[in-house]
Chain A
C-alpha cells in the first residue's frame, strides 16, 4: 500500500485542504469500525503514540492512537492556518508541518515564487524530507492551490519545482483553482499564466477547477433541497457539499460547500488505491492512461451523484442517470462541455455496488454521443471500488482528457494580453529579484504552444478516418 502527501499552499489551498482532511477522517471512520490502524488509513495518516508527547514514535499496526495527516501547510500569512489550528482539526496537524509568514504575497506571483521561494527553500525541503521519511512507499504528492493569487500560485508552483528536483520518482497531482472572469484580483491573469508555465513543465497531472462551476453546483443542490419535491428527502450527509459535522451548530463558512466538492474529488480519486475492489485503479494508472503526450495532462473532472435521496432502492435507471450526468456540462468542475469537444481519453472510477455489466452497458450507451480522437476510439479506463462514499450507495468520478479545456486557457491568455499590452502593473513584478520581462514572454509562449497543441487535435475531429496501413509480411 502506498502513501500520499498533501501539500496545501495559500489561502485557497489550505481551505480546500482543511475540508479534505475533515472528509477523509469521516470516510475512514465510516469504514473502519474497529478503530484499527489499517493500510487504507496509512495512505493519508500516520498513527502516533502520543503518550510520550507529541513527537511520539509511529505505530504501524494495532489500535488507532493519534492520527496525524501526511500534510504540509504553507501560507505566507497566518490567518487561515491559525484558524485551522484552533478548529476541530487541530490535533491532526502539528507545528512541524507548518510553514507560515506574516505579510502575505500581495497577490503577486513573483513575491510568492522568487522571494519567498528563495527564502523558505531549505525549510520546505527539510519538512518534505521529514514527511517522506515517515512513508513506507511514497507514491504521490497532491498539491492544492489557486492560480490567481500570490502565495498559492507563486510559492505553490515553486514547491512543485522543488518536488520534481527532490523526489523525481513521486507523482505530482495538482488541484488548481482557476480564477473566474469577474475575479476581484486584477493581476490574477498574470499570476495564472506565470503559474501555468510551471504546471505545463513540472506537473504529472493537473485537475483544473473553476469557482463558477462549484458555485453552480452548490446552487443546484440548494434548489433541489428547497424545492421539496414530492416525498424526496435528501440524505444530509450524502451531499457532495456537506461537511463532516452533521450537527450544524456553527454557521458554515461561505466557501465550505464549494471546497467540500473539491475535497470529495480527491477522496474519490484515491479511493481505489485505498480500498479494495474487483478492478483496482491506482494513481499511477491514472497518469499512465490519461496522459498520451507529456504536456497534455489537464484532466476535466466531474462527480456524480451530487446527493442521494433517502430511499434505499437503487433501480438501474438511477445508476444509468448517474453515468449520463457525469458527461453533462453542469456536473463538470470547470466551465466546459466535454460532450461537444474531442476526447483524448476518459476514465471512470465507480464506487459502491456497481458491477462490470453496469459499466459496460453505460459505456455502450454513451459512446455514440461522444467524440474520441481517431487513434483512441475506445479510450476508456475503468475502475471498480467496492467501498462507496459516505451516505451514498454508489458514486462515479469521471476524468476526461478533453480539448474542452481549451476555452479556459484561451480566455486566460486574452485577459493576460489585455494587461500585458498596456504593461499594467508589471513594475510590481519586475522589481522582484530574479524576475525579468522574459519570464512573462516565456510564460505566454508556453501557454500559446499548449493551446496550439489542442487546436491541432481539434482539427482532426470529425475528419475522414484513414487508418495507417499495416505492416506487410512476405509470405
Chain B
C-alpha cells in the first residue's frame, strides 16, 4: 500500500524533500548488511510505499506540494530533480503569490476554501496513482500561516473526501523563543482543529532536534537544513519497511494502519512522540559499535524519564511500584517525573534484531491500566540496516512526552489572548474570539486527559 505525502508551507516542503532524500539514499546505500534477496524485498516495499514507477526514469515521489508563495516549491522541485535519484511529479504542486502572512485565519478561512478544489484534485490524482492507498502523511509547521492554517483546512478536506483512509499529521513544534510572534495562537488553533480530523499527530520539536544537532551531531553552525535532515532520518527510521508481528515473512504493507492500531486506542489521545538512537555524525559511524542490550536500556530510560536524546538521561527516574494491593486505576503515589505511556512501538533495524530482548518494554508499570501490556507494546523489526547505522532503534510513543510542551504553548497563548493582542489580525479574516475559546477549551481537555494518566 502506498502513502501519499502532502507537504504544506515552507517547513513542510523543506522537510518533505529531506525525507525523500533520506529514503532514497538509504535504499541505494551499500550498507544494508543483509542478503541480496532481503535487500531487494526492502527496495520493492519502499518503492511501492513512497514512489510511483514512471517508465525507465528516476522514481517519482508520491507527493503533493502546497504553498501560498512560490519560492520554496520551485527550490524544492529543482533540488529534487538535480539529485538524480528521485524527483517530484512536475504537475503535483500548487502555489500562489502572496503567502499567508503567518496568519492562521488567512490560511484556514481564505486560502483554504478558495483553493480547495484545485488542491483536492491534485491529491485525488496522486491517490489514484496508487494501486492501494495506505493513507496520507501531511508535513507542516504549527507556527506559520500556510502549514498551520491551510494545513488544518486540508486535513479536514482529506477526512471528508477519504473517510476511511488513515491520516497522520507530522507537526513541527517551533522553537520556544520565537520564530514567529503569533506562533502560540497559530499552534493552538492548529492542534485543536487537527485533533478533530486527524488520526494521530506525530510531533517533532525544533528545540529538541537543535540540541541533537549541537550535542550529538557536533554541528557548529546549525542550519535549518541540518535540523531537517535529522528529522528526515528519524521519520525514515519509522516508515521504511519492516516486518510486524502479523505480516509474517513479508514486509508489512500497511504502515499507517498498523501504527494507528498499535498506538491510538482512544481518540482523546493522539499525540505521538518519536525518539531514535543512536544519532551521531556520519564520520563517527565507522568507529562506533553498539550492543542491543545497551541501546534498549537507553531507549527505555529515555521513555521513562522523558529524555529527548541519549545524552543527559536522568537515570534516577524509576517506574512506580505496582503492589498487588494498589487498585489498578490512578495510582496516586507515582513519582513526579515519570512518563506514563498508553502504548509504545519500538522499531529495530539492522544486525541481529531477531535476538533482541524487549521484555523491559512490556513491564506493566510503564503503562496505564487500560490495555493488557501485551497489547500496549509492539515491535517491528528488519535485519536490513538503515541509513548506514549498523543497529538502530526507534520509539514511537503515545505517552506524556508532549504534555509539558503542550501546556507551555497553551499557557503562553492564553496569556497573550487575555490582553487581546493581535486578535484584530485574526478577526479580519473571520476567526473570532469564540473560535479561540473553543480551541483553548479543546486543548485544555487534552492536557487534562494526558495529565491524569
Give A residues with C-beta under 8 Å from B.
1-2, 39, 136-137, 139, 276, 278-280, 282, 284-285, 287-294, 316, 344-345, 355-358, 360, 363-364, 367, 374-382, 384, 467-468, 470-473, 475
With A and B bound together, what is the CA distance between A472 and B447 in angstroms? 11
Q: Please judge, given known A-B contacts A288-B103, A380-B178, A382-B178, whether A375 and B419 are in contact too, CB under 8 Å.
A: yes
Contact present for A378 and B176 (CB under 8 Å): yes
Binds A, one of B123-131, B222-230, B389-397: B222-230
Q: Which residues of A contact B71 (CB under 8 A)?
A: 1, 39, 276, 280
Q: Tell me, yes or no, whether B343 is within 8 Å of chain A by CB.
A: no
Interface size class on chain B is: 35 or more
**A348 to chain B: closest residue by CB:** B178
Contact present for A355 and B221 (CB under 8 Å): yes
Partner of B227, one of A316, A356, A471, A473: A356
Binds A, one of B38-46, B54-62, B179-187, B300-308: B179-187
Q: Tell me, yes or no, whether B28 is within 8 Å of chain A by CB.
A: no
Q: Please judge, given known A-B contacts A287-B101, A475-B452, whether A381 and B223 are in contact too, CB under 8 Å.
A: no
Q: Tell me, yes or no, whether B338 is within 8 Å of chain A by CB.
A: no
Q: Please judge, given known A-B contacts A291-B425, A375-B418, whether A136 and B97 are in contact too, CB under 8 Å.
A: yes
- A37 shortest CB reach to chain B, Å: 16
Which of the listed residues B181, B182, B410 has the most CB atoms from chain A within 10 Å of its own CB?
B181
Q: Which residues of B contact A1 (CB under 8 A)?
A: 69-71, 97
Q: List 24 A-B contacts (CB under 8 A).
A: A1-B69, A1-B71, A1-B97, A276-B72, A278-B225, A280-B71, A282-B98, A282-B99, A284-B98, A284-B99, A289-B180, A293-B421, A355-B221, A356-B224, A357-B213, A357-B221, A357-B222, A367-B177, A375-B415, A378-B176, A380-B179, A470-B414, A471-B440, A473-B441
- B172 shortest CB reach to chain A, Å: 12
Which of the listed residues A288, A377, A472 has the most CB atoms from chain B within 10 Å of its own CB?
A288
- B337 shortest CB reach to chain A, Å: 22
Partner of B102, one of A136, A289, A378, A475: A289
With A and B bound together, what is the CA distance between A344 and B421 in angstroms? 10
Q: Which residues of A contact B415 (CB under 8 A)?
A: 374-375, 467-468
Which of the listed residues B14, B72, B224 has the most CB atoms from chain A within 10 Å of its own CB?
B224
**B179 to chain A: closest residue by CB:** A382
With A and B bound together, what is the CA distance between A376 and B72 in angstroms? 29
Give B residues with C-beta under 8 Å from A.
10, 14, 69-72, 75, 97-103, 145, 175-182, 210, 213-214, 219-225, 227, 410-412, 414-416, 418-422, 424-425, 440-441, 444-445, 447-448, 452
Contact present for A360 and B177 (CB under 8 Å): yes
With A and B bound together, what is the CA distance between A39 and B95 in angstroms? 14
Q: Which residues of A contact B69 (CB under 8 A)?
A: 1, 280, 282
- A346 shortest CB reach to chain B, Å: 8
Q: Please judge, given known A-B contacts A282-B69, A355-B221, A357-B221, whether A381 and B101 are in contact too, CB under 8 Å.
A: no
- B178 shortest CB reach to chain A, Å: 3
- B176 shortest CB reach to chain A, Å: 7
Q: Which residues of A contact B72 (CB under 8 A)?
A: 276, 280
Partner of A355, one of B14, B70, B223, B445: B223
Contact present for A39 and B70 (CB under 8 Å): yes
With A and B bound together, what is the CA distance between A285 and B180 in angstroms? 9
Q: Which residues of A contact B425 (CB under 8 A)?
A: 288, 291
Contact present for B178 and A285 (CB under 8 Å): no
With A and B bound together, what is the CA distance between A384 and B221 in angstroms? 14
- Beyond contacts A376-B416, A378-B176, A381-B102: 9 other A-B pairs, Cβ-Cβ < 8 A, are A39-B70, A284-B98, A284-B99, A285-B102, A357-B222, A374-B419, A375-B416, A377-B412, A468-B418
Partner of B448, one of A360, A364, A468, A473: A473
With A and B bound together, what is the CA distance between A472 and B440 in angstroms? 11
Give the total number of A-B pairs whose CB atoms are below 8 A apart.
142
Contact present for B97 and A2 (CB under 8 Å): yes
**B213 to chain A: closest residue by CB:** A357
Q: Which residues of A contact B178 (CB under 8 A)?
A: 363, 378-382
Contact present for B180 and A357 (CB under 8 Å): no
- A316 shortest CB reach to chain B, Å: 8
- B274 shortest CB reach to chain A, Å: 21
Contact present for A376 and B98 (CB under 8 Å): no
Which of the listed residues B14, B210, B419, B441 has the most CB atoms from chain A within 10 Å of its own CB?
B419
- A313 shortest CB reach to chain B, Å: 14
Q: Which residues of B contact A289 (CB under 8 A)?
A: 102, 180-182
Contact present for A358 and B221 (CB under 8 Å): yes
Contact present for B424 and A293 (CB under 8 Å): yes
Contact present for A379 and B181 (CB under 8 Å): yes
With A and B bound together, what is the CA distance between A294 and B424 in angstroms? 7
Return the 3 tightest CB-CB contacts between A and B, nearest first. A284-B101, A380-B178, A357-B222
**A139 to chain B: closest residue by CB:** B98
Q: Which residues of A contact B214 (CB under 8 A)?
A: 357
- A39 shortest CB reach to chain B, Å: 7
Contact present for A381 and B180 (CB under 8 Å): yes
Q: Which residues of A contact B14 (CB under 8 A)?
A: 278
With A and B bound together, what is the CA distance between A2 and B97 in angstroms? 6
- A85 shortest CB reach to chain B, Å: 32
Q: Please judge, given known A-B contacts A276-B75, A357-B223, A380-B177, whether A288 and B10 are in contact too, CB under 8 Å.
A: no
Q: Which residues of A contact B416 (CB under 8 A)?
A: 375-376
Q: Which residues of B contact A382 (CB under 8 A)?
A: 178-179
Partner of A473, one of B177, B421, B445: B445
Q: Which residues of A contact B441 (CB under 8 A)?
A: 471, 473
Q: Which residues of B contact A279 (CB under 8 A)?
A: 10, 179, 224
Q: Which residues of B contact A282 (CB under 8 A)?
A: 69, 98-99, 101
Partner of A280, one of B10, B181, B411: B10
With A and B bound together, what is the CA distance between A32 and B175 in angstroms? 34
Q: Please judge, given known A-B contacts A276-B75, A364-B177, whether A378 and B412 are in contact too, CB under 8 Å.
A: yes
Partner of A470, one of B75, B220, B444: B444
Q: Which residues of B contact A293 (CB under 8 A)?
A: 420-421, 424
Q: Which residues of B contact A39 (CB under 8 A)?
A: 70-71
With A and B bound together, what is the CA distance between A472 and B221 in angstroms? 43
Contact present for A356 and B102 (CB under 8 Å): no
Partner of B223, one of A294, A356, A475: A356
Q: Which residues of A contact B224 (CB under 8 A)?
A: 278-279, 355-356, 384
Q: Which residues of B contact A287 (CB under 8 A)?
A: 101
- B236 shortest CB reach to chain A, Å: 21
- A297 shortest CB reach to chain B, Å: 11
**B69 to chain A: closest residue by CB:** A282
Contact present for B181 and A380 (CB under 8 Å): yes
With A and B bound together, what is the CA distance between A278 and B448 in angstroms? 36
